[in-house]
Chains A and B, each alone.
Chain A
Amino acid sequence: MEVVAAASDEELFRQYAAGEVSAFEQLYRRHELRVFRYLLRNLRNRALAEDALQETWFAVAREARRYQPTGARFTTWLFTIAHHRMIDVLRTARATIAWEVAEQATQPLVAAATGTAGAAEPYAAALASEQLVALLRALAMLPEEQRQAFLLQQEAGLSVEDIATVCGCNFETAKSRLRYARSKLRELLQDCL
């Protein structure tokens, strides 16, 4: 079966449920980074984020035959699984793993972002890496639930209603978390522009 590049997530997932592996690969590549960033920026621990990423996609592959395309969007469903895996990991990891402070978490990123920047655009690369560090620091300063709501909006492109569904709270709560998160981030990132 020929997989069309512009096929929707739901269509690709339906093809995978019918046994088409390349559809899953395409779907995975499409969402890999966004899910990983969501997990990493919430967990702030690479090993835990990778574990959660792996479990998320295992669950996606396992549940393929039961997925109902008439229900939630694939992205909402995917991030719901990722969110629950992340909560599970947080619950178990809190007791055993020391929480990385924002400074420690962002230091390797500074070096990496600067190192990967192309020589042709040194200023843009430096600016972007500076913004990335500032963003990561600001995100780390947000309360957990506000950060989750903001990252779900940015990485998954979810509506307030979908964020409420994923987080298991009501619409007003999700809206309020998002509003506080954005307000706080604007304040913290004031100097970045």
Chain B
Amino acid sequence: MSASDLDLLYTRASEHDPARPSTAVRAAILERARELADHTHERHSAREGAQPRAPERRSPTLAALAELSRRVARWPRIRWQIAAPVAAAALAAIVLQPQLRSRLPAPASRVSAPTRATPAPEPFPAAPGRTQSHASGAPAPRLESPSAAAPRAQLRERSEVERPVEPAAPSELLHEAAARGDVRWVRSILQMYNVPINAPDADGRTALMLAVRNRQEAAVRELLGRGADPNIADADGRTPLEVARDRHELSIFDALLQAGAR
């Protein structure tokens, strides 16, 4: 028997093979394909503002099941859409808390209004050094009546007493996100707070170094893509490339090399 005879025999025999998948299997496959197509179409329609396509005829039970599975499938995305803004708002409130407290207006009953001159805001409680600079020719401090200054001083004192934990600086958040490999969070922090991407922590480790140390390849690539310097050594003089090599992280090592690491 030649090679072509074998192919011919296979084709001829298979044509007479009565094996077919059951109609239930076929129906389930086509139904699923239809659901996914409807879902795609809805997303397109929502994006373009078009009218949703009229649903194809199907049994009410199947339609109800399809709708239920669609809703279940959407829930994680919806939950994320709610959770992300809430978390961002909470974080912003924590970070801006001192600034907001210092901006609180003094109670009207205790302020003598006519004495207020230029309403230059003071974003942070005045540090001792700044007071001295005023005395040495810096712009004059704004005028405040003693009665207005008193409650403000009380507020400052209270805020310093009541604040149990200092909010994390944005660079610390960046370091934490990089170490955890949370790429989305790394991206958000860089966009929201304009943090210097190469800012070091107390041990001289940049976000990139922390991502490398924790084998977070996605975070490493994200940081490199956003211009992180791959040659900044930590306090011990170790570069990210050396750390990746010691940890046998070849893909991270390659990514660093491609970004110009030495």
Contacts and interface: CB of A to CB of B under 8 A. Distances in A.
Interface of A: 16-21, 24-25, 28, 32-33, 36-37, 40, 46, 49-50, 53-54, 57-58, 61-62, 64-65, 109, 112-113, 115-117, 125, 128-129, 131-132, 134-135, 154, 182, 185-186, 189-190, 192-193
Contacts of A186: 1, 3, 6
A118 to B, nearest CB: 11
Interface residues of B, number: 35
Contact of A182 (B6, B15, B37, B56): B6
30 contacts: A16-B33, A16-B37, A19-B38, A19-B41, A21-B37, A25-B30, A32-B21, A36-B19, A36-B21, A46-B19, A49-B21, A50-B21, A50-B22, A53-B25, A54-B28, A54-B29, A57-B32, A58-B32, A61-B33, A64-B36, A65-B40, A113-B16, A116-B16, A128-B13, A135-B10, A135-B13, A154-B10, A186-B1, A192-B1, A193-B1
A21 B22 CA distance: 21
Given A37-B14, A113-B17, A135-B10, A24 B25 contact: no
Most buried by A among B3, B26, B56: B26
B10 A109 contact: no
A125 B9 CA distance: 13
Contacts of A117: 16
A134 B12 CA distance: 12
B36 to A, nearest CB: 5
Given A50-B25, A109-B19, A19 B40 contact: yes
Contacts of B30: 24-25, 28
Given A131-B12, A154-B10, A182-B6, A58 B40 contact: no
Contacts of A135: 9-10, 13-14
Contacts of A109: 17-19
Q: Is the interface of B mostly helix, strand, loop or mixed?
A: helix
Interface in B152-184: none
Contacts of B36: 61-62, 64
B5 A40 contact: no
A19 B6 contact: no
A158 B10 CA distance: 15
Contacts of A20: 37
A40 B6 CA distance: 20
A21 B34 contact: yes
A16 to B, nearest CB: 7
B19 A58 contact: no
B20 interface: yes
A113 B25 CA distance: 22
Contact of B29 (A58, A134, A190): A58
Nearest to A24: B33
Contacts of A37: 14, 17, 19
A20 B37 CA distance: 7
B44 interface: yes
B25 A132 contact: no
Identify the interface centre among A116, A128, A182: most chain B CB within 10 Å of its CB. Answer: A128
B7 interface: yes
A26 B147 CA distance: 83
A182 B3 contact: yes
Contact of B16 (A53, A54, A125, A182): A125
B41 to A, nearest CB: 4
B42 to A, nearest CB: 9
Nearest to A23: B37
Contact of B19 (A21, A25, A40, A154): A40
Contacts of B6: 182, 185-186, 189
Given A19-B44, A109-B18, A28 B13 contact: no
Contacts of B15: 128
